[in-house]
Amino acid sequence: MIRLIPSRKTITGLAMAALTVSAPAHADTLVDNIQGITVGEDGKVERFTALWIDDDGRIKQVLKRQDELPRDIDFRFDGKGRYVIPGLIDSHLHVMGLGFGALTLDLSETSSLQEAQAAIAQYAAENPANRWIIGRGWNQEKWGLDRFPTAAELDAVVGDKPVWLERVDGHAGWANSKAMQLAGVDKTAKSPAGGKVIRDSAGNPTGVFVDNASALVQESVPKPRPEDRDLALSKAQNILLSFGITAAADMGTSIEDWQSFRRAGDGGWLNIRIMSYAAGTEAMELIGGPGPSPWLYQDKLRLNGVKLYLDGALGSRGAWLKQPYQDDPANTGLPLQTGAQLRNLMSRAALDEFQLAIHAIGDAANSEVLQAIDELADTYEGDRRWRIEHAQIVDPADIAAFSKHGIIASMQPVHQTSDREMAEARLDPARLEGAYAWRSLLGAGSRLAFGSDAPVESPDPFAGLAAAMSRTGPDGQPFGGWRVKEAVSREQALAGFTSDGAFAGFADGRFGKLVAGQHADFLFIDRDILLSSPADIRQTKVLATWVGGREVFAAGQ
C-alpha cells in the first residue's frame, strides 16, 4: 500500500492545524453588518442583517434591518457587508473516496487515452516506492473512445508493477496484466452475478471489470492503514469546507471509515457534519448494532441507515433499463441483485429502523425500488424517509409513484450536465423524457435532496446550484438549457442543498436552516447567488465557513 503518511504525529499536526483558523471561543457572538440570504418555511427568500449566536454555537436570533441589536454580547464579528448563506449540504458523496482521490492518481481531468497514459507514467516515475499504482477518474466517453481501455494500454506505460484504476463513476475498474496476474485472473475467470468481465474475441480478460466483477482484482489491492484513512478524512474535510459544504451524507461507510470518523470526533478535529449510510447490511450491523446511532459530537456524526445498490451506472452500461440500450441493442444493463434479495435486505434494515438509501439509475431499477417500497411500506410504518439515490432515468409513468410514500429523490444536478451527450447516445427520446426529471419529481410531490457524488464529480455545490436552475454546463451549453422544462427555481435549488438535504438525513431541526435553535452553520461568499446568472454562480468564492458558530475555514489561510 502507498505509505501516505509517516506517523500518527503527522495526522495529529494536520488536525491541530485545522483547528487554528481564527474564531472566537464559544460565547454569545453577534455576526452583523452582513447581507444574509436564506429560504424561509414558505419557500420564499428571506434576508437578514445579523445573526445572534449563543455560547453553544446555536442561533439565538436572526435579526433583520429593523430589529434592535442585542447589547450584552461577548464577541462581535463585523461581516463587512459580505453575503451570508446557510452552510451547504451535499446529500450524496463519498467522504473517503474524495480524500483518497486527492491523495492518489487522479485521471478525471484527462481528455484522451494518451493523456491518461502520460499521467500514469509520470505518477509511477514520481512514486517509485509504491508497490501498486492506485487511482481513479478515467472515462472512456470523455476520451472519445468507443470501447473500454485495455490492460495492454496500461502495460505500455507501467508493466513492472500492478496498476488498478477505478472508473470515474466507481462502477468499473481497469487493471494491467501484472495486477490481473497477482489477482489470479485469467481466461477461466467467471463474471459474478451483477458484474461483467470484459473479454476479447478469444475470451481473455482485456483488463476492465464492471460492477461486481471489480472485486476479482480489488480484493488483491492492499488495504489502507488507519493512518491513511485519517489523512484521507482530513484532506476530504478541508476540501469540503473550502467549498462551503458544512454537512454531507456519506454513501457507503465501512466500519473502517466509521472508526476514522470517530477518531476525528474524539480528537476534536471533526469539523463537518457527516450523515452516514453504511456500505451494506453487514457494515450497518457492525456500526449501528441494534439501530441507527445517536447524534454524536454536537450533531457532527450519526449513522442514519444503509446504502444498497440495485444497478450500475449509465457510463459503463450497467444501469438497468426496461428496454435495451440504444447504442448496445443486446444489453439492458446489470441488476446487481434479484427483487427478492433487494426486499430481504430492505426488510432487514427497516426492521431495526435504519433508513434505506437505494442506488437506482436505470428506469427498470427505479421501477423495481418503487415497487419494493410500496410493498414494504405498510409493514414498516412511521417516518421512514425512503431514499432513491440518483434516480437518473425514470419511466415517466413511474414519476407519480415517488409521492406515494414520501420518497426522497437524492439527485446530483452536475450528473445531468456531465452525462447529457452520453445519455442521448444511450437512450432514445422517449426515455429521455424521464431523465434527470427534477421539476417533474417535485411536481409529483417528491422532495429533492441535491449533492455531487464526489469524487465522481467535483464537490463544488455552486456548480450544482447553477446546473439545477439552468440545465446548462460550465460552457453555458446547450443554449437555453437541456430539456429546460426540468430546471428548478433558484429557491428550490438552494433548498435542495440546504433544508431539504437536512430533512433527507433526519437532521431537520438541527441544521440546514438559519433559524433560532439550529446550529449556526453558514458561509461568507462574494456574491448574491439569488441575483446572479448561472455562469456567475459557478464563479462564487467561499470567503469563510462557519460550523456551530465557529469559523473553520477562511480563504487564504
pLDDT in tens, 216-275: 999 999 999 999 999 999 999 999 999 999 999 999 999 999 999 999 999 999 999 999
Q: How confident is the model at residue 2 (pLDDT cuts 50, 70, 90)?
A: very low
- Least confident range from 167-176, 445-454, 495-504: namely 167-176
Q: What is the pLDDT of residue 16?
A: 47
Q: How confident is the model at residue 42 (pLDDT cuts 50, 70, 90)?
A: confident
Q: What is the pLDDT of residue 19?
A: 47
Q: What is the pLDDT of residue 22?
A: 47
Q: What is the pLDDT of residue 26?
A: 57
Helix (H/G/I), strand (E/B), else coil: 259: helix
The pLDDT of residue 389 is above 90:
yes
The pLDDT of residue 98 is above 80:
yes
The pLDDT of residue 9 is above 50:
no
pLDDT in tens, 517-540: 999 999 999 999 999 999 999 999
Q: How far is CA 284 from CA 152, 168, 270, 276, 506, in A?
A: 39, 26, 21, 10, 17
Q: What percent of the chain has pLDDT over 90?
A: 89
Cα radius of gyration (the chain): 23
The H or E element containing residue 183 is helix 177-183
The pLDDT of residue 8 is above 80:
no
List residues bridging with 157 in a β-sheet. none
The pLDDT of residue 11 is above 50:
no
Mean pLDDT within 86-101: 96
CA separation for the pair 321, 357 (Å, rounded): 20
pLDDT in tens, 469-480: 999 999 999 999
Helix (H/G/I), strand (E/B), else coil: 542: strand
Question: Strand 29-39 to strand 45-53: parallel, antiparallel, or no bridges (unpaired)?
Answer: antiparallel
Q: How confident is the model at residue 170 (pLDDT cuts 50, 70, 90)?
A: confident
Q: How many residues can be counted in the chain?
A: 557
Q: How far apart are the first and last CA of the chain?
A: 32
The pLDDT of residue 555 is above 90:
yes
Mean pLDDT within 111-130: 94
Task: Give the global pTM.
Answer: 0.88
Mean pLDDT within 347-355: 98
Q: What is the pLDDT of residue 268?
A: 97
What does the buried/exposed string (b/e) look like for 436-463 if buried means 16 or more CB atoms within 10 Å of the residue's CB? bbbbbbbebebbbbbbbbbbbbbbbbbb
Q: What is the pLDDT of residue 483?
A: 97
Mean pLDDT within 443-452: 96
Residue with the larger pLDDT of the pair 44 and 296? 296
The pLDDT of residue 1 is above 80:
no
The pLDDT of residue 5 is above 60:
no
Q: How confident is the model at residue 403 (pLDDT cuts 50, 70, 90)?
A: very high
The pLDDT of residue 111 is above 70:
yes
- Decide if 310 contacts 320 (C-beta within 8 A): yes
Mean pLDDT within 39-57: 90
Average pLDDT, the chain: 93
pLDDT in tens, 298-346: 999 999 999 999 999 998 899 999 999 999 999 999 899 999 999 999 9
